[in-house]
A = this chain, B = another copy of it.
Amino acid sequence: MQRFVNKPDYIVEDMLQGFAKAYPYIEIIKENDHVVKNVNAPIADKVGLVSGGGSGHEPAFLGYVGKNMLDAVAVGEVFSSPPAQAFYDAFMAVDSGKGVACLFGNYAGDNMNVKMAIQMAEDEGVEVKCVIANDDISSAPKDQKEKRHGIAGGVFMWKVAGARAAQGASLDEVIHSAQKAVNNTRSICVGLAPCTIPAVGSPNFTIEEGKMEFGIGHHGEPGMHIEDLPTAEVIAEKMTTAIIEDLELANNDEVALIVSGLGATPVMELYVLYDGIEKVLSEKGVHVYRPYIGDYVTSLDMNGAALTIMKVDDELKELLDYPAESPGISK
Contact = CB atoms under 8 A, between A and B. Distances in A.
Contacts of A300: 266, 268
Contacts of A276: 6, 18
28 contacts: A2-B209, A2-B229, A2-B303, A4-B235, A4-B273, A5-B231, A5-B232, A6-B231, A6-B232, A14-B272, A15-B268, A18-B271, A18-B272, A18-B274, A18-B275, A18-B293, A19-B271, A21-B288, A22-B271, A22-B274, A56-B266, A56-B268, A264-B266, A264-B303, A267-B298, A268-B298, A301-B303, A330-B330
State the majority secondary structure of interface residues on A: mixed
Given A18-B278, A264-B266, A267-B295, A6 B272 contact: yes
A55 interface: yes
A107 to B, nearest CB: 19
A21 to B, nearest CB: 5
A126 interface: no
A22 B294 CA distance: 11
Given A2-B229, A4-B265, A264-B265, 18 more contacts: A5-B232, A6-B233, A15-B271, A15-B275, A16-B271, A18-B278, A18-B293, A21-B278, A22-B271, A22-B293, A59-B267, A263-B267, A264-B264, A264-B301, A266-B301, A267-B298, A268-B300, A295-B295
A305 interface: yes
A68 to B, nearest CB: 15
Interface residues of A, number: 56
A308 to B, nearest CB: 15
A270 interface: yes
B5 A272 contact: yes
Contacts of A268: 11, 15, 55-56, 58, 298, 300
A54 B270 CA distance: 18
A246 interface: no
Interface in A50-77: 55-56, 58-59
Contact of A263 (B15, B233, B266, B274): B266
Nearest to A2: B192
